[in-house]
Amino acid sequence: GAKTRGKNRCEIFDAGLQERAVDRIAIASALRQGLRDDRFVLHFQPVVDMGTGDTVAVESLVRLDDPDRGLLAPDTFIQVAEDSGLIVPIGTSVLEQACRQLVTWRANGAAPKGMRTAVNLSARQATRPDLAATIERALAETGLEPSGLTLELTETVLMEADAATLRQLERIRELGVGLGIDDFGTGYSSLTYLKRLPVSFVKIDRSFVAGLVTDPSDREIVTAVIRLGQALGLTTIAEGVEEPEQFQMLRALGCDQAQGYLLGRPKAGPPGEITVLRALRAAVS
């Protein structure tokens, strides 16, 4: 009601309040200012191979470093960015920054040679006819080889992809860029589209990982997704791994890679050594 809203007046960037037109206008204006002043920054979260313990990738996650409000999380502005179309220039900046950062880290020894960078693509970006060209340009400008980059799309985007979008995605795959499905299981998962899409990995949504140890139905879902991934030759990545028990169970189920606060939170710098892995390995051997 109006009273509650009045009390929350200063929390205009709360994701739950995004529906209000006045907030959306304020967010859109912060986004435009952020683009003008180059205030979109990335934080990087490690993705770990469950067999070797190597950090095989970082997921590059955008934040807006707002001069008045501090660091804003994507959940507070991605929807407005998407609806206003501002996600397109923001996304291009993210893509370039992610590629450039990886090249820099490799050059100064802060990242292992084979480590990749993962970038999230929104619907608005993924359906553009110049998507493949934008990606090729980011790679060429930064000098990153195509296999150093992976792109994460949501099920909804992939399912609604028309012929032209599918051609763009296939072109990207032909370059050697990795393509996969984010938050798998939360959209209208359809098994037939999985088969016809040019994807190489699926990320199991963290809502299923959260219940993995305690909820039998979540465990069934995770088991099924890992089996499906294996059957289709897709890499399976579990997101939101917070507990050692979740990590051990995912590994036992044959999940390929894991990401989550247990292994490392997103941060501005390069991924360091993941010390918790030593304890995890000791626990099973």
For 101-252, where are the E strands, in sequence order?
Answer: 116-120, 149-154, 178-184, 201-204, 235-238
Stretch that binds ligand C2E, among 28-36, 115-123, 169-177, 268-276 (CB under 6 A): 115-123
Does residue 109 contact residue 67 with C-beta atoms inside 8 Å?
A: no
Using the rule CB under 6 A, which residue among 62, 179, 199, 237 binds ligand C2E? 62
Q: How far apart are CA 229 and CA 249, in angstroms?
A: 17
Token representation of residue 268: 């501005």
Q: Residues 183 to 202: which contact ligand C2E by CB under 6 A? A: 183
Stretch that binds ligand C2E, among 7-15, 120-128, 166-174, 273-281 (CB under 6 A): 120-128
Closer to ligand C2E by CB, 2 or 19: give it: 19
- Determine if 78 is a binding residue for ligand C2E (CB under 6 A): yes
**What does 178 bind: ligand C2E, Mg ion, none (CB cut-off 5 to 8 Å by kind)?**
none
Closer to ligand C2E by CB, 2 or 244: give it: 244
**Crossing angle (nearest 10°) for helices 244-253 and 276-284:** 60
- Determine if 120 is a binding residue for Mg ion (CB under 5 A): yes
3 state DSSP class of 205: coil
Burial label, 267 (beta-carbon count in 10 A; 0-12, 13-18, 19+): middle
Compose the 143-182 pattern: x for residues touching Mg ion by CB under 5 A, - for all others. Answer: ---------x-----------------------------x
Q: Which amino acid is at 127?
A: T
Q: Residues 224 to 263: which contact ligand C2E by CB under 6 A? A: 239-242, 259-261
Closer to ligand C2E by CB, 45 or 142: give it: 45
Using the rule CB under 6 A, which residue among 34, 91, 148, 185 binds ligand C2E? 91
Q: How far apart are CA 268 and CA 285, in angstroms?
A: 34
Report, in Å, the least distance between residue 52 CB and Mg ion.
22
**What does 165 bind: Mg ion, ligand C2E, none (CB cut-off 5 to 8 Å by kind)?**
none
**Cα-atom radius of gyration of the chain, to the nearest Å?**
19
Characterize the bridge pairing of strands 70-72 and 257-258: unpaired
Name the one residue in this structure whose structure tokens are 């309040």: 17
Q: Which residues contact 244 (CB under 8 A, 6 or more apart)?
A: 262, 276, 279, 280, 283
Report, in Å, the least distance between residue 1 CB and ligand C2E.
29
Closest CA to 61 of 105, 120, 131: 120
Closest CA to 46 of 57, 60, 34: 57
Stretch that binds ligand C2E, among 3-11, 30-38, 87-95, 107-115 (CB under 6 A): 87-95
Closer to Mg ion by CB, 75 or 273: give it: 75
- Determine if 73 is a binding residue for ligand C2E (CB under 6 A): yes
- Chain residues that interact with Mg ion, rule: CB under 5 A: 120, 152, 182-183, 203, 239
